[in-house]
Chain A
């Protein structure tokens, strides 16, 4: 069996990607960027799923990844539709200006 990449590396990469996603979501103001950050977080989680699945030689993680991908696809469809509508109505994608729920 060839020398494979250790599990910890995958997890470290997954953690870095997830943190980037969180930071992007929290600090960027553009809705599209925030949306992409969410995708990044989801994929970071997918990566750790697959890594664990390979490490423990169990198929559950792979199956779960498919679920996450399906959800992500659905979310992308809905989310992009919302963003489009917001832009149509407000002519802006600045997230702090989309706060009509506040008042």
Chain B
């Protein structure tokens, strides 16, 4: 017994301590609880991983109805181990960074309590050994994401973004719920091992319909959580939250839960090729679409947010083309370099006193050297320059895509060039040229720069972690190797960097001139293809207006309220008549009684007397 339950229990204890007592604790104690709990969880994960994972651990029966039983079960196979390391490792660095970033915030204890709550649910999600426990984690990370996006709840835009994230995720979770029900009905069990084990016994012609449906419903859930088309719209808005949150939840861990889920359910997808093709298509479309939007954004966090959406698309492309190991590998390296990009952006924002607009930055290379160099490390990694981390994982995905369908590879290469372009555009705009703002930039404290340096080292060298080999017992290694394809994709990345250099360093006027020449195309990209507006007109407005006009003004006011008030009014009117009888004079009551008695007797007499 490896006592896996300790891993999520530690952050939960931290959440309870900071959440209940945090307002009375000094900052040092809050830091100790928050970082200490995550550190201990990380050490426990290391211990578990060092012993090669853990078999299923059954703690108690959660639900038992007849033959159907769901237990509170955790398991740590190789896939879980990778996720555990990423979540606790990157999570730990971000917790440390947050100590510096949130130092002057009034909600200090609340922030770390929520962050620990998130860690608890995320670890539950990846440790789960059946659909229902996973669902608990799945919903829990959504809740903590909502709480942290709306952390500055006095800002209307932040609470709106939190609501948007939560509501859009409900659509995805609806698909996940239906998929769980479908599996439960068809397999009579929700345990991963039992469900996947009995898949082999199903004749293909019977199972393919059900499994395709289950796969598509799961994809809907994954698209919600991992911000894929058509449910990606919440992630860019989620940048309203504090930057460590963007790094931890909306770049490194929670948003990759969808990729983890598809990899976890690989046995289902392998039996449902149509659903798997859909995963690849959605991923590819999202990767390209989000990358084009990222080209023109001026908010540094928005650039990286669209980059996250795009990179998640890559991971979906990987798992959708059967390269599950490569998809998870990219998840790991992405966690390194994207967390670093966000933390670096946070460091820049911190240095400029809250400024996020790239147009008001510039020339920060000298003022914030550590941030600059670490961000460059992240950028070369995401751009896919060998031998840095992003190169290895992205390359595996692209090669797998090529052998699935060559056109997917070419779209992926174009996306890779765009990725390199927008990341280096952000860096050139922020760190080169003349300073265009009016704050007094200063380098961040060591508590913030040290995590940056650690993540920079991981972004550079993370590609040498043998993740696909470690996952080989679950997902077979790729057989394809093709140096020509690798060279092309690297060249695309270099071309993107060169273009960014040309546009924003060598000839600074060129970018604006090109934007003008492109005219409406540029406007469309800048406005994110008007997707928010289209969703607003097609979904939000009809729902809101329908609720207002039909459900509120018609059904509620005119039917329900009018009905209830009508009953009250009739009763009042009737009472108004009846109360005249209650004169308060004893003799009038007596007269009424007499009259009643006479009438009863008269009725009896007419009916022929009492029998």
Q: Does B606 contact A (CB under 8 A)?
A: no
Which chain A residues in 54-103 approach chain B with CB under 8 Å? 95-96, 98-103
Which residue of B is nearest A22, CB measured? B594
Q: Does A26 contact B (CB under 8 A)?
A: yes
Q: Is the CB of A96 within 8 A of B583?
A: no
Mask for B568-587, Cβ within 8 A of A = 1, else 0? 00000000000000011111
CA distance A62 to B129 in the complex (A): 84
Q: Which of B587, B590, B591 contacts A96 (CB under 8 A)?
A: B587
Q: Is the CB of B584 within 8 A of A101?
A: yes
Contact flag A102-B586 (CB < 8 Å), given A22-B594, A26-B591, A26-B594: no
> Chain B interface secondary structure, helix, strand, loop or mixed?
helix
Which residue of A is nearest B583, CB measured? A102
Q: Does A25 contact B (CB under 8 A)?
A: yes
Q: Is the CB of B586 within 8 A of A95?
A: yes
Shortest CB distance B60–A (Å):
65
Which residues from A are CB-within-8-Å of B587?
Answer: 25-26, 95-96
Which residues from A are CB-within-8-Å of B594?
Answer: 22, 26
Which residues from A are CB-within-8-Å of B586?
Answer: 34, 95, 98
CA distance A26 to B585 in the complex (A): 11
Q: Is the CB of B590 within 8 A of A99?
A: no
Q: Is the CB of A99 within 8 A of B591?
A: no
Mask for A30-71, Cβ within 8 A of B = 1, else 0? 000010000000000000000000000000000000000000
Which residues from B are CB-within-8-Å of A26?
Answer: 587, 590-591, 594
Which residues from B are CB-within-8-Å of A99?
Answer: 584-585
Which residues from B are CB-within-8-Å of A25?
Answer: 587, 590
Which residue of B is nearest A28, CB measured? B587
CA distance A100 to B583 in the complex (A): 10
Which residue of A is nearest B584, CB measured? A102
Which residues from A are CB-within-8-Å of B585?
Answer: 95-96, 99, 102
Which residue of B is nearest A25, CB measured? B590
CA distance A86 to B587 in the complex (A): 17
Which residue of A is nearest B585, CB measured? A99
Shortest CB distance A93–B (Å):
12
Which residue of A is nearest B594, CB measured? A22
CA distance A98 to B586 in the complex (A): 9
Which chain A residues in 5-25 approach chain B with CB under 8 Å? 22, 25
CA distance A56 to B461 in the complex (A): 117
CA distance A22 to B598 in the complex (A): 12
Which residues from A are CB-within-8-Å of B583?
Answer: 102
CA distance A96 to B585 in the complex (A): 6
CA distance A103 to B584 in the complex (A): 8
Shortest CB distance B440–A (Å):
79
CA distance A24 to B587 in the complex (A): 11
CA distance A101 to B583 in the complex (A): 8
Q: A-contacting residues of B (Cβ < 8 Å)? A: 583-587, 590-591, 594
Closest 6 CB pairs of A and B: A102-B584, A101-B584, A99-B584, A25-B590, A95-B586, A99-B585
A-B contact pairs, 22 of them (CB 8 A): A22-B594, A25-B587, A25-B590, A26-B587, A26-B590, A26-B591, A26-B594, A34-B586, A95-B585, A95-B586, A95-B587, A96-B585, A96-B587, A98-B586, A99-B584, A99-B585, A100-B584, A101-B584, A102-B583, A102-B584, A102-B585, A103-B584
Additional 13 contacts, C-beta under 8 A, given A26-B590, A95-B587, A96-B587? A25-B587, A25-B590, A26-B587, A34-B586, A95-B586, A96-B585, A98-B586, A99-B584, A99-B585, A100-B584, A101-B584, A102-B583, A102-B585
